Structure 1
Amino acid sequence: MTVKMDNVGIVVEDLTGAIEFFREFGLELEGQTVVEGEWAGRVTGLGDQRVEIAMMRTPDGHGRLELSRFIEPSVVADHRNAPVNALGYLRVMFAVDDLDATLDRLGRHGSELVGDDVVQLGEAYRLCYVRGPEGILIGLAQELG
């Protein structure tokens, strides 16, 4: 049996802002549409729904993020400011070539480091978490050597 990750979904309030942030990060907008109707609600269990979605793809084509903005029904919970030890889905981790340059680009869009600094794991990795738009938690890892 073959299993491949298709995408990770993130619900946002400001879809345009989230698209801009992830474009600056280096992801490409693959498509954007509205998904609506009873058929979609049968998949999610939400009944009749209307959701604006944008699919973002990593430059290598192997990873995707589905950004969703619920129009109907209303959002019922907010986990954006949960600490990194909260139960449930936590973050998306990206491998980057240049962590410092990535942090500079994302900082221009309001992202902030979680914790005090970028840490180095021996001679293998430099790592950090940042909060992006709407508090979305993103991990960044730069492989060294």
Structure 2
Amino acid sequence: MLRRMGIQRMDNVAVVVDDLDAAVAFFSELGMELENRMGIEGRFADLTVGIDGLRSEIAMMRTPDGHSKLELTKYHTPEALGAGREFPPPNTLGLHRVMFAVDDIEDTVARLRPHGAELLGEIARFEDVFLLCYLRGPAGIIVALAEQIG
């Protein structure tokens, strides 16, 4: 009998942010729930991440259905790289975006604007199936929203 090696599930996606409180507020406004917030440091952290003297704080956010999580990470030591730089465009290699299904895309965008959200384009209709948009969220990450309309 062959034993299959594989993943059990995807636990989370991590995003490095410069302002953890603001990022928690942004994703809370989106509808995610703060599951846990804690400091991370010590030998296990240094070995896992490959950075000696690592000191960070994480906030684990979860979707209301409990199936998806987003780990927001603030590095205290060493300081995160890239602060103050222009954010890359959507066609940059690497992690592209995080997408959320929402009930009302226009209301969601309006609620996120006071938290720094900026549309990259506009809310667009894909056939008679979805309303979609990309916006910049905390630390410049691209957050995509989709409202099913058909």
- Range of TM-score over shorter length: over 0.9
User: Structure 1 residue aligned with 2:128, among 93, 116, 123?
Assistant: 123
| Equivalent position of 2:33 in the other structure | 28
Alignment identity in percent?
47
SS in 2 for 1:31: strand
Relative to total residues, which structure has the larger strand share, 1 or 2? 1
Q: Contact conserved, 1:34 with 1:50, CA < 8 A, in 2?
A: yes
Amino acid at match of 2:45: A
Deviation at 1:2, TM superposition (A): 5.1
CA distance in 2, matches of 1:80, 1:125: 30
| Equivalent position of 1:6 in the other structure | 11
CA deviations on 1:46-82 (whole Å, 9 max, x unpaired) are 1231111000011110111100000111223357711
Q: Contact conserved, 2:16 with 2:73, CA < 8 A, in 1?
A: yes
Cα 1:32–1:94, aligned 2, differ >3 Å: closer, same or farther? Answer: same
* Pair 1:57-2:62 in alignment: yes
CA deviations on 1:98-137 (whole Å, 9 max, x unpaired) are 111111111122211102x111110111110011233221
Q: Contact conserved, 2:103 with 2:147, CA < 8 A, in 1?
A: yes
Alignment length (residue pairs): 144
Q: Tell which deviates more after alignment, 36-45 or 62-71.
A: 36-45
User: Structure 2 residue aligned with 1:99, among 91, 98, 105?
Assistant: 105
Q: Contact conserved, 1:30 with 1:57, CA < 8 A, in 2?
A: yes
SS in 2 for 1:107: helix
TM-score normalised to structure 1 length: 0.92
Unpaired runs of at least 5, structure 1: none
Unpaired runs of at least 5, structure 2: 1-5
Cα 1:99–1:56, aligned 2, differ >3 Å: closer, same or farther? Answer: same
Consecutive aligned runs of 4 or more in structure 1 exceeding 6 Å deviation: none
* Pair 1:90-2:96 in alignment: yes
Q: Contact conserved, 2:16 with 2:139, CA < 8 A, in 1?
A: no
Amino acid at match of 1:144: I
Q: Contact conserved, 1:15 with 1:68, CA < 8 A, in 2?
A: yes
User: Structure 1 residue aligned with 2:81, among 71, 76, 92?
Assistant: 76
Q: Contact conserved, 2:60 with 2:69, CA < 8 A, in 1?
A: yes
| Equivalent position of 1:133 in the other structure | 138
Who wins on radius of gyration, i.e. which is larger? 2
Cα 1:62–1:16, aligned 2, differ >3 Å: closer, same or farther? Answer: same
